[in-house]
């Protein structure tokens, strides 16, 4: 069944030729966009939806989440709000709870969060393993992730689990554990940070992933300056995420990674995480100004960013990181798609997957102008109305 959405007050396409359209219409059929243009020229379709002047944009593409877990870290959050500093070790609390949970509990928790994200306009998301940290627990985490996520990342190198030595653990994580999860995942990730994995260990993880043909990701430069960005760019990673502490040279490195038409490394900023850890916000303005490709993601996880709201992240990126609304929306849709290595997501143009959201507002500006207000009026995923 084909659908035409007409009467669109403002249509964000993320397509360089189409740009931003007013009084527009979109037609989709069999889950794909088949026509985009002026409402007056729109062809007919089986189903007709009148947007009545409201804004339509691509569904959010959330390219960084940790939604396969069990348990709760309210106490850690309260301690942090009372003045304690964030350290990577809190992850162990979630690891214990995740190992103790059944597959059904993990799946139910993921469904709850994925449904919540969908109601907020997220039509595609990546999620990571990394709270199992044994071969069996990482494999079942990947399997649970696969049941809902568009893209799954193996994050065995999240933390050295309690009772193990780092080198001993890495032999496992880059050997038998990696072998066991490879059929279930698209990418490999490493938490390159003080208290997690150092430069040489991170290199070992990335090389192991590369050998298996996986996409590469790095959690880098979150808690202070470090080698994460450099390692990511050197290895041709799909993305380096957090990037709160960047030298001018590293910003240049990220921008240059795209020069000459090369597939570069996306700089993924996680504004909700920066706020929840009370850390400095990533320099998204400087990254965009330098010509880097930026993605905005939620980093939904129970420790440092317990939100699935991409609208909140976009509002924060505008109000606090000083992106324009247009830049922030692009980073939360097309930027996420590029970070996932996908060219069918994050845009509304012929051939793209019909993942769209309609706002209860005349323009995307309202996402930042009316922060905290749930503006999602309707969501289509693969052409099907889901909200
Ligand atoms: Zn993360």
Q: How far is the CA of 251 from the centre of ligand 1 (A)?
A: 20
Query: Is 158 annotated to bind ligand?
Result: yes
Residue 100, pLDDT > 90, answer yes
Residue 152, pLDDT > 70, answer yes
Measured between alpha carbons, how far is 359 from 192 in angstroms, rounded to an integer? Answer: 38
The pLDDT, as a whole number, for residue 209 is: 98
Kindly give, in sequence order, each residue whose CB lies less than 8 Å from that of residue 376, ignoring residues fewer than 6 positions away: 119, 120, 121, 311, 357, 358, 359, 360, 387
Query: Is 14 annotated to bind ligand?
Result: no
Select from 309, 363, 340, 297 the least CA-distant residue to 9: 363
Q: How far is the CA of 161 from the centre of ligand 1 (A)?
A: 17
The pLDDT, as a whole number, for residue 195 is: 86
Q: How far is the CA of 219 from the centre of ligand 1 (A)?
A: 6
Query: Is 146 annotated to bind ligand?
Result: no
pLDDT digits (tens, 9 = 90+) for 5-49: 999 999 999 999 999 999 999 999 999 999 999 999 999 999 999
Q: How far is the CA of 218 from the centre of ligand 1 (A)?
A: 9
How many CA atoms within 13 Å lie on the side-chain side of 65?
31
Query: Is 242 annotated to bind ligand?
Result: no
Contact 155, 126 (CB under 8 A): no
Question: Per-residue confidence at 227, pLDDT binned at 50, 70, 90?
Answer: very high
Mean pLDDT of the chain: 97
Residue with tokens 């928790």: 109
Query: Is 369 annotated to bind ligand?
Result: no
Q: Which CATH superfamily is domain 60-339 in?
A: Metal-dependent hydrolases (3.20.20.140)
Q: How far is the CA of 246 from the centre of ligand 1 (A)?
A: 17
Residue 335, pLDDT > 80, answer yes
> Where do the structural domains in the chain lie, given as residue ranges?
3-59+347-385, 60-339
The pLDDT, as a whole number, for residue 89 is: 67
Higher pLDDT, 281 or 89: 281
Query: Is 219 annotated to bind ligand?
Result: yes
Question: Per-residue confidence at 90, pLDDT binned at 50, 70, 90?
Answer: confident
Select from 294, 301, 240 the least CA-distant residue to 276: 301
Query: Is 222 annotated to bind ligand?
Result: yes
Q: How far is the CA of 102 from the centre of ligand 1 (A)?
A: 23
For residues 235-249, average pLDDT: 98
User: Which structure tokens are listed for 9?
Assistant: 């007050």
pTM above 0.95, yes or no: yes
The pLDDT, as a whole number, for residue 40 is: 97
The pLDDT, as a whole number, for residue 86 is: 79
Kindly give, in sequence order, each residue whose CB lies less than 8 Å from that of residue 300, ignoring residues fewer than 6 positions away: 62, 65, 66, 67, 113, 117, 306, 307, 308
Q: How far is the CA of 358 from the centre of ligand 1 (A)?
A: 28
Sheet with strand 187-192: strands edge to edge: 60-62, 122-128, 151-157, 187-192, 215-220, 239-242, 266-269, 294-296
Return the number of other C-beta atoms located less than 10 Å from residue 165's C-beta: 9
Compute the chain's Rg from CA coordinates.
Answer: 20
Q: How far is the CA of 66 from the centre of ligand 1 (A)?
A: 6
Q: How far is the CA of 197 from the centre of ligand 1 (A)?
A: 14
Domain 3-59+347-385 sits in CATH 2.70.98.10: no
For residues 314-318, average pLDDT: 98
Q: Which residues make up the environment of ion ligand 1, defined by Cβ < 5 Å?
A: 299
């Amino acid at each position: 069944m084909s659908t035409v959405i007409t009467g669109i007050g403002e249509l964000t396409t993320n397509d360089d030729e189409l740009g931003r359209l007013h009084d527009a219409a979109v037609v989709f059929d069999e889950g794909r966009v088949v026509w985009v243009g002026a409402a007056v020229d729109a062809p007919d379709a089986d189903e007709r939806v009148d947007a009545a002047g409201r804004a339509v944009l691509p569904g959010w593409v959330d390219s960084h989440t940790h939604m396969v877990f069990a348990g709760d870290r309210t106490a850690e959050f309260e301690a942090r709000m009372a003045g304690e500093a964030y350290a990577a070790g809190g992850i162990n609390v979630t690891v214990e709870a995740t190992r103790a949970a059944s597959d059904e509990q993990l799946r139910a928790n993921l469904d709850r969060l994925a449904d919540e994200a969908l109601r907020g306009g997220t039509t595609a998301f990546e999620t990571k393993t990394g709270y199992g940290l044994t071969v069996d627990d990482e494999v079942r985490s990947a399997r649970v992730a696969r049941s809902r996520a568009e893209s799954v990342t193996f994050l065995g190198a999240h933390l050295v689990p309690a009772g193990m030595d780092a080198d001993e653990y890495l032999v496992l994580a880059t050997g038998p554990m990696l072998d066991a999860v490879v059929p279930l995942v698209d990418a490999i990730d490493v938490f390159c940070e003080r208290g997690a994995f150092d430069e040489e260990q991170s290199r070992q993880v990335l090389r192991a992933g590369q050998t298996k043909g996986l996409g590469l990701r790095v959690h880098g430069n979150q808690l202070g300056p470090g080698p994460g960005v450099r390692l990511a760019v050197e290895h041709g990673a799909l993305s380096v995420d957090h990037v709160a502490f960047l030298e001018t040279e590293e910003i240049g490195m990220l921008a240059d990674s795209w020069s000459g038409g090369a597939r570069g490394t996306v700089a993924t900023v996680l504004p909700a995480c920066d706020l929840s850890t009370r850390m400095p916000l990533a320099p998204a303005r400087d990254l965009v100004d330098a010509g880097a490709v930026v993605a905005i993601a939620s980093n939904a996880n129970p420790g440092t960013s317990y939100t699935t709201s991409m609208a909140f992240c976009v509002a924060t990126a505008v109000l606090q990181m000083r992106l324009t609304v247009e830049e922030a929306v692009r980073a939360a849709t097309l930027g996420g798609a590029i970070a996932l290595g996908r060219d069918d997501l994050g845009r509304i143009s012929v051939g793209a997957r019909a993942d769209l959201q309609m706002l209860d507002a005349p323009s995307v500006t309202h996402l930042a102008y009316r922060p905290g207000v749930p503006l999602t009026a309707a969501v289509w995923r693969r052409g099907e109305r889901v909200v």
